[in-house]
């Protein structure tokens, strides 16, 4: 029976579905560190994680039997994708499933900060009645600056316009503006005109420390700042200085440079004593609707890969969309993208007198991926010959 390990309180649908597909499933609520993960992966074929568990080279080397990793979230920077690919571990994520949840939290943060809800809440909790309009604004007519115009940024753009906001955005890639949104040529152009600035950049290493002292200094007086993207993107010490000085009127932070591994762990931040902050524990995508959608989406990718060899929407494998097997068995062959591999494989099958019913080949960068439906189940000698082909990374037979 194949084994699956699901960490970090992944939605129960994932375990339920995998069990229906013949997996023995173990679930854990918290994340695991490197050594704990290696121990837990003994005999495991499929691994499900969220953002707190890292699948490093050490983990991959220690558990060569691991076949696939499902990231039940948007980001995949917690996995060494290239190393996983060249060692036969397919990785899947959920790039769209919690987009709406993140967007709604950002809209919530904008309205709360513009209306000074955190400050008013703080005052009432400490016995002060401060019924005043001072510093409170409607979002209608204000300019929202979106840094990173991907799936989340683009949907946020549409909802913000529906609230009456003017939207500008900046992205290093060419992106089509939705509605009346205006593309800024430089980050500085966006910062100098935005009443609210929100980050929606990805987890690539070049984004570490992307938004620091210089960027905060370039923001408008009394602007607000929101980060629901990655914890390492923004310099929180610089943010605090600009809040303390009165330059910025408020901020919302949902992601942190260092986050606890599990719910209930202690967490301390110097931003907690400020009354113009919205602080949340990385819950941008944590709605019941989003987690259920992610559970369905990623589990389907893992099941399709295990039962069919399909790699659609994999983030590190050549992508092949595959239906049911057209023969008696299906041979999966991941290899280095070298010339002649397909011919060598077909020669092995021909020598074994095995007829090919259907065959698909995909390549991506340094990897090649061949899926071959054959008229009879190959014997061990045939599979050994296929595994001996130059450049072979992983082979598998699906019956």
Closest CA to 145 of 219, 50, 235, 229: 219
Closest CA to 321 of 371, 368, 377, 355: 371
d(CA 385, CA 392): 11
Specify whether the CB–CB gap between 355 and 319 falls below 8 A: no
Question: Helix 99-114 and helix 117-125: axis angle, to 10°?
Answer: 70
The torsion angles phi and psi of 94, rounded to 5 degrees, stand at: -125, 85
Question: Helix 341-351 and helix 380-387: axis angle, to 10°?
Answer: 160
Structure tokens at 114: 């513009």
d(CA 362, CA 309): 12
Q: Looking up tokens 């397919």, which residue turns up?
A: 90
DSSP 32-75: --HHHHHHHTTT-SEEEE-SS--B-HHHHHH-TT--EEEESSS-
Query: Which burial class, exposed, middle or buried, applies to 174 when counting CB atoms under 10 A from its CB (0-12, 13-18, 19+)?
Result: exposed
Active-site residue list:
230, 259, 282
- How far is the CA of 1 from the CAs of 18, 282, 324, 396, in angstroms? 11, 35, 21, 15
């Amino acid at each position: 029976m194949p084994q699956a390990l699901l960490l970090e309180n992944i939605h129960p649908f994932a375990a339920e579905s995998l069990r229906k597909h013949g997996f023995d499933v173990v679930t854990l609520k918290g994340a695991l560190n490197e050594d704990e993960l290696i121990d837990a992966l003994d005999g495991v074929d499929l691994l499900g994680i969220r953002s707190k568990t890292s699948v490093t080279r050490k983990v991959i080397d220690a558990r060569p039997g691991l076949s696939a990793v499902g990231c039940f979230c948007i980001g995949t920077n917690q996995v060494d994708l290239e190393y996983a690919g060249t060692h036969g571990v397919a990785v899947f994520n959920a790039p769209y499933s919690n987009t709406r949840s993140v967007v709604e939290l950002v809209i919530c943060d904008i309205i709360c900060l513009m209306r000074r809800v955190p400050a008013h809440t703080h005052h009432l909790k400490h016995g002060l009645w401060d019924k005043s309009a001072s510093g409170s604004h409607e979002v209608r007519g204000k300019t929202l600056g979106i840094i990173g115009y991907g799936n989340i940024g683009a949907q946020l753009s549409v909802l913000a316009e529906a609230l009456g906001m003017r939207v500008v955005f900046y992205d290093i890639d060419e992106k089509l503006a939705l509605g009346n949104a205006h593309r800024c040529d430089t980050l500085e152009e966006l910062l100098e005109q935005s009443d609210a600035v929100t980050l929606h950049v990805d987890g690539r290493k070049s984004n570490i420390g992307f938004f620091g002292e210089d960027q905060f200094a370039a923001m408008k007086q009394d602007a607000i700042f929101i980060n629901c993207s990655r914890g390492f993107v923004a310099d929180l010490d610089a943010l605090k200085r600009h809040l303390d000085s009165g330059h910025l009127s408020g901020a919302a932070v949902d992601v942190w440079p260092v986050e606890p591994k599990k719910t209930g762990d202690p967490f301390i931040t110097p931003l907690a004593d400020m009354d113009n902050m919205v602080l949340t524990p990385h819950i941008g995508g944590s709605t019941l609707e989003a987690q259920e959608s992610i559970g369905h989406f990623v589990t389907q990718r893992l099941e399709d890969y295990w039962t069919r060899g399909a790699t659609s929407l994999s983030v590190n494998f050549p992508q092949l969309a595959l239906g049911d097997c057209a023969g008696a068995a299906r041979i999966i062959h991941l290899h280095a993208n070298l010339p002649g591999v397909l011919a060598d494989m077909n020669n092995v099958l021909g020598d074994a007198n095995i007829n090919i019913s259907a065959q698909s080949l995909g390549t991506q960068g340094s990897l090649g991926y061949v899926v071959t439906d054959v008229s009879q189940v190959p014997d061990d000698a045939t599979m050994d010959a296929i595994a001996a082909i130059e450049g072979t990374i992983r082979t598998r037979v699906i019956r």
